[in-house]
Amino acid sequence: MIIRPKVRGFVCVTAHPKGCEANVKEQIDYVKSNPAVENGPKNALVVGSSTGYGLASRIVSAFACHANTLGVFFERPSERGRTATPGWYNSVALEKAAKAEGLYASNINGDAFSQEIKDQAIERIRSNMGKIDLVVYSLAAPRRTDPKTGETYRSTLKPIGSDYSNKYLDTDKKTIQEATLEAATDEDIHNTVKVMGGEDWELWIQALKEAGLLADGCKTVAYDYIGPQVTWPIYKDGTIGRAKIDLRRAKDAISESLQPIGGQALISVNKAVVTQASSAIPGVNLYITILFKIMKDLGGHEGCIEQMTRLFADRLYRPDRSIPLDDLGLIRMDDWEMEAKIQDAVTEVWPKVTTETVDELTDFDGYQEEFLRLFGFGVKGVDYEADVDPVVDFD
């Protein structure tokens, strides 16, 4: 079949297997064009490994550190003539590329919140990998079932304390609109923390530790985002922000639990990038289009793979083995984004953006290109007029 992008609001409902493969290859080529990370991990587990920062972390682990990797994700294969999700195609492509270079790469597709998937991962690691020295936790999901109680929680994206209105970019119509979100209830806050907080990260590390599968000196890292003040009411100070506070609580608890083996839990605050999740947050997509234009003009623009390459080389696995942290004990990979010259420029531009000035003041085209690349479209060297089999599977 000939596969074309079909965008419905903030989601593209099709994905291109050849395009996703080419996109993964581009990221691998970028990593291999940089110096190898000499003291990096040798066995890495990436929970949430199929897209975005999780995928980039796995690529860097494999192709900069020459690590064996196990990826855990929840994606849909092709069925009944429908294309698979892009994360499925990404994971197939990564496994193929890693094995071609003699690296162990394995995948588990299922609900990472469940005890069943944790047990599968433990058995896979024990049988094929040995002890893990890096666990990347990069999971984002709308709901979670607690494996102990069976109760299902759903996360919400809401402000706390009062309703919140802000302008956003309607990418379908290329217009600036205004959205109002109702204030969260206490139940909304609790449920979002249960889904997006640090509880499941703790359960993964606890399970691996009890199984004796964490190496001495192991590291585990989860990802966070803080962003500019213009997005704080909906993000940093909203329900998601409460979940991120809990993530930091979990970091401290995990680090304490890993002290006997010299391990450490870390949180990396990353730069704003185009993801399926960020596209749906009112205000954030507009901020990203402004940010991209400014950072491309002034320098320092990074995507997921550039960011993770820098995280591994300049933070997690520096030659002197030190890890620079801020006053809150966080790794700040958003340092370039949050530079005063960048944020001052964003603050100046923000009120000037209207439907009429979108092209002039934002990188709308660049945002759209990055969005479509998430689904394998618009990648150089791919013949999108060719007949393609949507069914692609692991070896």
* DSSP secondary structure letter of residue 79: B
- Which segments within 155-313 are labelled E, that is strand? 164-170, 175-181, 214-224, 264-269
Judge contact between 54 and 221, C-beta under 8 A: no
Residues whose CB falls within 8 Å of the CB of residue 148, separated by 6 or more in sequence, listed in order: none
Torsion angle, CA of 199/113/11/97, rounded to 10 degrees? 110
Judge contact between 176 and 170, C-beta under 8 A: yes
Enumerate helices (H) and strands (E) in the chain, giving the number of each.
12, 13
Annotated active-site residue 287? The verdict is no
Cβ neighbours, 10 Å, residue 231: 22
- Catalytic-labelled residue, pool 30, 53, 89, 235: 235
Classify burial at 179, counting beta carbons within 10 Å of its beta carbon; exposed 0-12, middle 13-18, buried 19 or more: middle
Helix axes of 239-258 and 199-210: crossing angle, nearest 10 degrees: 20
- The residues annotated as belonging to the active site are 235
